[in-house]
Structure 1
């Protein structure tokens, strides 16, 4: 009887560990999906940013613009370049092999990446809006 109880307890323990591990994997996958969703929201901005950069370059070559306008064009162009560079660097450094980390490290990593890509998305949206407002 004691032996059966021990075996039952061991099986229950193993089952609960597997269940907890499954929940952790599902949570990590959910956070990763959120990260990718934010990335996918930001990516279409890249084309718009490149187009705005091209338009601003033309405006900078325009001799009829005032020095004040040129300064504003340069400032917005820098914001566009920074946001584009931030996205490219983020994509280059994203570790999709987070499952090689232990649960807590992987969770922390993914939450940080979620914050990072959210900030980049915001930076891109703001730069895009600034460009939209100054391009005639």
Structure 2
């Protein structure tokens, strides 16, 4: 069921991103700003797609850890380390899901180019941070 929900959310986000704004044919700086926003939005989308691939890896590692945890006879320290890794992976996964739910690029023509740019710049910081946290969780879980 979770996979279906995640797939639906992923497809919804891709659909929203693909409906991006097209530059207006008016002359002047607004076209350049709108283009800059479109470029920034594509960069965010690229990082997001990289992070989505990490989500698949997180789920794979989590399954492996849970199998190891249930199949192995190990010390309490070993169990605690695996449970901590699973919790870290879950946290990274949740960060991504939360960001995806909240991400909603502004419309340049409705909300204004500068306001849309500011929003995208803030989202770029967030998506880079969550991508780094996901990578860190993966690396720690593999140890």
Please list, as runs of the form range in 1=range in 2, the aligned pairs for 1:37-52 lying within 5 A after superposition. Answer: 37-52=46-61
Structure 1 residues without counterparts, runs of 5 or longer: 1-16
Q: Which has the larger radius of gyration?
A: 1
Q: Tell me the distance in 2 between the aligned counterparts of 1:104 and 1:29.
A: 13
- If the length of structure 1 is used for normalisation, what is the TM-score? 0.79
Deviation at residue 58 of structure 1 after TM alignment: 1.7
Q: Please name the residue that 1:122 is paired with.
A: 132
Deviations 1:56-113 (A, max 9, x none): 1122224511111111111111110011111111112111344332122111110111
Give the root-mean-square deviation of aligned CA atoms.
1.5
Aligned counterparts of 2:49 and 2:138: Cα–Cα separation in 1 = 16
> Is 2:105–2:116's contact at 8 Å kept on the other side of the alignment?
no
2:37 to 28, 39, 42: 28
Q: 2 CA distance for matches of 1:131 and 1:118?
A: 20
Given candidates 102, 114, 123, the residue that maps to 1:93 is: 102
Aligned length: 117
Query: Contact conserved, 1:59 with 1:65, CA < 8 A, in 2?
Result: no
Q: Which runs of 4+ in 1 moved over 3 A?
A: none
Question: CA-to-partner distance for each residue in 1:14-69, whole Å, 9 max, x for gaps?
Answer: xxx83111011011111111111111111111111011111111222245111111
Aligned counterparts, 1:1-136, within 5 A:
18-99=27-108, 100-133=110-143
Aligned partner of residue 131 in structure 2, secondary structure: helix
C-alpha separation between the residues in 2 aligned to 1:78 and 1:69?
14
Q: Assess if the C-alpha contact under 8 Å between 1:83 and 1:120 holds in 2.
A: yes
Is the helix fraction higher in 1 or 2? 1
Provide structure 2 residue ranges, at least 5 long, that are not aligned to the other structure.
1-25
